[in-house]
Amino acid sequence: MASKGEEEFRRLTYELRYLEQTEAAIESRLNMINAVTTDLAYASMTLESMGKEKEDAELLVPIGASSYIKAKLDSSDKIIVGMGGGVSVEKTRQEAGEIIKSRLESLEKTRVALQQQYSQVAQKIADDRGKIEALVATLREGKIP
């Protein structure tokens, strides 16, 4: 039969593994949020600079893999905005800017909440590691039956 110390050791190691998985999941979500935030920030900057362009201005449009095509600007006030689920709608530049700003604000709130969760989990991991180390030292000395 396992001693109380061994049972506590097993419980703490199980909890530690769970917390480490939680930490990795939160970190992954934070990375995704950072990537989307960067994408939205580029979109916002592009919208701002588009307002300065005249019709028929020649643009370089990214097509992926650091490749571009030349295009002429038909209208700088008509923007196609993805709404999710494969649906896109035409909006004015101002409306598109407001949508992007709203998404950025929402992502920032989510990022802050995740950062807090991450900090709490990281602190709990550090606490559990300390408890495990102390328990291992105590078990080695044979103080717990």
The per-residue DSSP string of 60-98 comes to EEEEETTEEEEEE-S-SSEEEEEEETTEEEEEEHHHHHH
What 8-state DSSP symbol labels residue 1?
Answer: -
User: Tokens 């407001």, residue?
Assistant: 98
Question: Torsion angle, CA of 59/64/66/67, rounded to 10 degrees?
Answer: -50
Candidate ranges 3-7, 42-46, 99-103, 136-140; pick with highest mean pLDDT = 99-103
Reported pTM: 0.80
Structure tokens at 96: 């598109």
Element at 58 (helix H, strand E): strand 58-64
Neighbours of 96 (CB within 10 A): 21
CB neighbours of residue 12 within 10 Å: 17
**Residue the block writes with tokens 């590691």:** 129
Domain ranges of the chain: 4-52+79-141
pLDDT on residue 143: 64
pLDDT band at 2; cut points 50, 70, 90 = low
- The pLDDT tens digits of the residues spanning 26-75 come to 999 999 999 999 999 999 998 888 888 888 889 888 898 999 999 888 88
What mean pLDDT is predicted for residues 129-137? 92
CATH architecture of 4-52+79-141: Orthogonal Bundle (1.10)
